[in-house]
Structure 1
Amino acid sequence: MTEAELQAAVRAFVRDEVAPAAAAWSMGAAPDPALLGRAGALGLMRIQVPAEAGGLGLGFAAKARAAETLARADFGFAMSVVNTQNVALRLVASAERRVWEPLLPDLLSGRSSACTALTEPGAGSDFASISTTARRDGEGWRLDGEKCWVINARHAAFAIVYAQCGEPGDRDGIGAFLVPLDRPGCSRYPLDAPFAQTSMGTGGFRLEGVRIPADHVVFAPGQAFGAILDEINGARAYVAAMCCGMLGAAIEAAGDYGESRRSFGRALAGHQAWRLALARAGVALAAARAITAEAVAAVDRGAPAQLAAAQAKIAAVDTCRRQLPELLHLMGAEGLRPQHPFSRHLAAAEIATLTDGSTEMLLERVHRLMRRAPAP
């Protein structure tokens, strides 16, 4: 499958299946599990997975574009799909073949999902402070601790769990482990909020003496910290792309409504103030897309992307948070109906602010990196 074929299939999938279902998700309904299977059949779980492992072998930019299209309908579902794809890619790249080979067919087809578990009740952006532990237990490992706010945790078959193998606060002591979530000692729970979390599958799990074999190590202690920071740079870039997708969909929805809804004897689009507000949103989106494209390109070619990814996420998230309320007001009360994307995209923009590093933390990082950068 070429990337052009993939993107065309994703657009049709979003139009015909994801968007019609997303209205119910925003009201707390759970996605039909079969929908993940249809996403898998399209290739959405194997975009970056090497062809020799059953994947499409495409680049990061292809994943970011697909995620942007999915997010036009629902940010949560897009995050769910992308996170399963990320785990598949990580296992092929870093785990032992005899471990991932039997798992991959169900993962790539969407018959099962997976998650990456970083956040804990007492550790979010300060990743080095995680308290979940992994200790040698005979020939294997024993894991104890709790992970929360994990995408796909409600339904994932397994997780890549980051745990401290050394002393608290030791970055070099952190390792990563493949943990089947049906193991004795593992108990999971959903996490809900006034912003619906169902399509993202947000939840947590507790590990109490969970034992795994030695070959389930994905990153040995000392390797995990740097690897996850690189992955987070990529995540910030595709989250920025997803925010651009949400805003683009909202602009289109408002524009279409403005052509048909009449007010004071003419279409809304006939009022200059209405048109200017829509145009302002379009200009802001163009700027966010430009900076996001730079970050996606840097990640795609393997260039240093820490600064570009942080800037892109800040710009795209902030643009969404400013412009989506304005677009909702262009719609009036009609924009509150769940069949329109405004309410769920507003909620998603707030969630995106906290995902993969808060805006405040990223601003501190941008300042530090800009001070180090050479003058042009």
Structure 2
Amino acid sequence: MSGAETFLGRVTAFAEGPVAQAAQSWALGEDPDPQLTRDAAAIGLTGITTPAEHGGLGCGFTTLVEACAALAAVDFGFAMSLVNTQNVGLRLCLSAPDALRDAWLPRLLSGEVSACTALTEPGAGSDFAAITTRATETNEGWRINGEKKWIVNGRQAGLAVVFAQCGQIGDAGGIGGFLVDLGQPAVRRFPISSGFPQASMGTGGFVLDNVVAEGLLLPPGGAFKSILHEINAARSYVAAMCNAMLGTAIREAAEYGAHRTSFGKPLDQHAAWRQPLGAAETDLAAAHALTARAVAQIEAGQDAQLAAAQAKIAAVEAAQRHIPQMLHAMGAAGLLPEYCFTRHLAAAQVAGFTDGATHILRDRVARLTRSGTDISKR
């Protein structure tokens, strides 16, 4: 068994054990125990693709995607929380000066500190160039003013990569990426709650009032390009996570249907009951294929913007369409917290907004295909 297979086996056991036990309370709004994040870090979940020479596992993107899927099969939010911390750790290895990397990376890898990437603002989401948070260079370093909202790990993160405008508002080339210590008094943090519990994702935001950045990680002119590249990876692992959620919903409904009787025979012996499961399996197979293509392209260093957008559209829409159908196949029993449905129903909706809203991605796919993109080579 390879090192990656051993790691993924540990991730699956962790997800199906401690995470599954805790997730039932997260669906009711209870915050995760910080010890569970430290336990996840001990397995390596906060350093999956971090190079081994810096204390990480040094795995490839495919392994990261499979780990995210194994976690999301139980709880999408917790998976998103961990992968966001791991992504910031990798960014430190790629872009930070040695001293800054060495000061923060061990704390991320141990689970002592969680991290976030802060791009979204009250008035800017998918339109990245519209951000108004501003960075100004002074004799004391870069100072940042603005507000970030709808940030994964925004409630509890101790460290953030904050994207801010260094030039004119609307100029994508003026955006830079800054490392910010969120423990500063000038950072005012706030949680975001909704009818869909987001406790395990740590959704929140913060106001930056003349905050001094730790350093500039991505200079203007390069930060926006980095965003576009990294978001293709994010869309691909979000697609895999949606596939995992739908797969769990299908499995739980199928297991229930094999034992629950109606009119003298198990539910799965009724053709009308089986048909929604067949439709769900078909769409899931298509979403899996599109996701695998996107992941392979990213692993190979290819341009995956079309494949990643198509994968996310297919996976999100399949999850949003069929998880409710699987709940109806279960009946009222599916509302019980020991089943996945109340968590996954909400998560599928959240996934539709994450890393590019579905309607934005549909437009992107149309523009890429109309511009002569050869899908067969992707």
Q: Give, in whole Å, the separation in 2 of the partners of 1:119 and 1:128.
A: 11
TM-score normalized by the length of structure 2: 0.97
Q: Give, in whole Å, the separation in 2 of the partners of 1:371 and 1:97.
A: 44
How far apart are 1:212 and its partner, in Å? Answer: 2.8
How far apart are 1:284 and its partner, in Å? Answer: 1.4
Corresponding residue of 1:54: 55
1:291-324 per-residue CA deviation (whole Å, 9 max, x = no partner) reads 1100111111111100000000000000011111
Q: Give, in whole Å, the separation in 1 of the partners of 2:21 and 2:281.
A: 25
Corresponding residue of 2:281: 282
Code of the aligned partner of 2:231: I
Alignment root-mean-square deviation, CA: 1.1
1:324-350 per-residue CA deviation (whole Å, 9 max, x = no partner) reads 111010000111112111121111111
Q: Give, in whole Å, the separation in 1 of the partners of 2:33 and 2:375.
A: 52
Corresponding residue of 1:41: 42
1:68-126 per-residue CA deviation (whole Å, 9 max, x = no partner) reads 01000000000001100000001110111110112111201212100000000011111
Q: Give, in whole Å, the separation in 2 of the partners of 1:375 and 1:183.
A: 48
Unpaired runs of 5+ in structure 2?
A: none
Any residues of structure 2 matched to 1:318-333 within 5 Å, and which? 318-333=317-332
Code of the aligned partner of 2:161: I
Q: Give, in whole Å, the separation in 2 of the partners of 1:32 and 1:263.
A: 41
Where has structure 1 moved over 6 Å in runs of 4 or more?
A: none
Corresponding residue of 2:110: 109
1:260-293 per-residue CA deviation (whole Å, 9 max, x = no partner) reads 1111111111211112221221121111101110
- Structure 1 residues 263 and 36 mapped into 2: Cα distance closer, same or farther (>3 Å)? same
Corresponding residue of 2:175: 174
SS at match of 1:218: strand
SS at match of 1:143: strand
Corresponding residue of 2:188: 187
Q: Give, in whole Å, the separation in 2 of the partners of 1:324 and 1:103.
A: 40
Code of the aligned partner of 2:151: V
SS at match of 2:135: strand
Corresponding residue of 1:92: 93
1:191-224 per-residue CA deviation (whole Å, 9 max, x = no partner) reads 00100010000000000111235xx111111110
Corresponding residue of 1:361: 360
How far apart are 1:375 and its partner, in Å? Answer: 7.7
Corresponding residue of 2:233: 234
For these two proteins, the number of residue pairs brought into alignment is 374
Corresponding residue of 2:267: 268
Code of the aligned partner of 2:350: I
Corresponding residue of 2:134: 133
Code of the aligned partner of 2:139: G
Code of the aligned partner of 1:220: P
Q: Give, in whole Å, the separation in 1 of the partners of 2:20 and 2:347.
A: 15
How far apart are 1:177 and its partner, in Å? Answer: 0.5
Q: Give, in whole Å, the separation in 2 of the partners of 1:83 and 1:301.
A: 22
SS at match of 1:101: helix
Any residues of structure 2 matched to 1:291-310 within 5 Å, and which? 291-310=290-309
Q: Give, in whole Å, the separation in 2 of the partners of 1:170 and 1:14.
A: 42
SS at match of 1:200: coil
Code of the aligned partner of 1:57: G
Q: Give, in whole Å, the separation in 1 of the partners of 2:101 and 2:8.
A: 27
Code of the aligned partner of 1:288: A
Q: Give, in whole Å, the separation in 1 of the partners of 2:213 and 2:18.
A: 38
Q: Give, in whole Å, the separation in 2 of the partners of 1:230 and 1:197.
A: 27
Deviates most, 262-271 or 128-137: 262-271
Q: Give, in whole Å, the separation in 2 of the partners of 1:174 and 1:293.
A: 32
SS at match of 1:103: helix
SS at match of 1:192: coil
Q: Give, in whole Å, the separation in 2 of the partners of 1:168 and 1:30.
A: 36
Corresponding residue of 2:158: 157
Q: Give, in whole Å, the separation in 2 of the partners of 1:366 and 1:28.
A: 36
TM-score normalized by the length of structure 1: 0.98
Unpaired runs of 5+ in structure 1?
A: none
Are 1:340 and 2:339 matched, yes or no? Answer: yes
Any residues of structure 2 matched to 1:189-204 within 5 Å, and which? 189-204=190-205
SS at match of 1:217: strand
Q: Give, in whole Å, the separation in 1 of the partners of 2:230 and 2:208.
A: 24
- Structure 1 residues 375 and 133 mapped into 2: Cα distance closer, same or farther (>3 Å)? closer
Code of the aligned partner of 1:85: Q
Q: Give, in whole Å, the separation in 1 of the partners of 2:38 and 2:209.
A: 31
Q: Give, in whole Å, the separation in 1 of the partners of 2:297 and 2:27.
A: 33
SS at match of 1:227: helix
1:33-58 per-residue CA deviation (whole Å, 9 max, x = no partner) reads 10001110111111100111111111
SS at match of 1:315: helix
Corresponding residue of 2:66: 65
SS at match of 2:352: helix
SS at match of 1:134: strand
Code of the aligned partner of 1:256: E
Q: Percent identity?
A: 54
Q: Give, in whole Å, the separation in 1 of the partners of 2:362 and 2:99.
A: 42
Q: Give, in whole Å, the separation in 1 of the partners of 2:170 and 2:282.
A: 44
1:228-264 per-residue CA deviation (whole Å, 9 max, x = no partner) reads 1100000000000000000011111111111111111
1:170-191 per-residue CA deviation (whole Å, 9 max, x = no partner) reads 1111101100001131110000
